[in-house]
Amino acid sequence: MSMVELCLEVEGLLGRLREEASPQEEQEKLLIAIDAIRFLSASGQSYDFEDYRKSLDANAPPLVIAAFNTLEAAESWLKEQPEPPASGCVLVGNEYCRVMYSRETGLRKLIPSHSTLEYYLEEMIQDGLPAPDSTFNTREEADSWLSSQAEPPRQVFITIAGEYYLAVYHYRVRLRALYPISRAAKSQLEHDGKG
Domain endpoint, select from 34, 57, 80: 57
Query: Do 162 and 107 share a domain, yes or no?
Result: yes
Domain C-terminal end among 39, 57, 75: 57
- Looking at the predicted structure, is the pLDDT value of residue 153 above 90? no
Note the pLDDT tens digit of each residue in 22-31: 888 888 888 8
> Is residue 82 located within the same domain as residue 25?
no
**Predicted confidence (pLDDT) per residue in 104-125, tens digit:** 999 999 999 988 989 999 988 8
Q: Are 92 and 119 in contact (CB under 8 A)?
A: no
Dist CA 4 CA 177 (whole Å): 32
- Rounded to the nearest integer, the mean pLDDT of the chain is 88
Element housing 96 (H / E): strand 95-101
Top pLDDT among 171 and 79 is at 79
Task: Give the mean pLDDT of 27-56.
Answer: 87
Contact 158, 135 (CB under 8 A): yes
Helix H or strand E encompassing 17: helix 3-20
12 and 88 part of one domain: no
Give pLDDT, residue 194. 47
Q: What percent of the chain has pLDDT over 90?
A: 47
Please tell me which residue, 80 or 13, carries the higher pLDDT value: 80
Checking if the pLDDT of 191 tops 60, the result is no
Hey, which residues does 96 pair with through a beta bridge?
Answer: 91
Residues 84 and 173 in one domain: yes
The residue among 87, 139, 136 whose CA lies nearest residue 113 is 87
Question: Average pLDDT for residues 6-27, to the nearest whole number?
Answer: 84
Q: At what angle do helices 24-42 and 46-57 cross, to 10 degrees?
A: 110
**Residue-number span of the structural domain to which 100 is assigned:** 66-192
Average pLDDT over every residue of 59-76: 94
Report the candidate in 68, 58, 63, 96 with the shortest Cα–Cα distance to residue 187: 96
Domains contained in the chain, number: 2
Angle at 61 between CA 79 and CA 114, to 5 degrees: 60
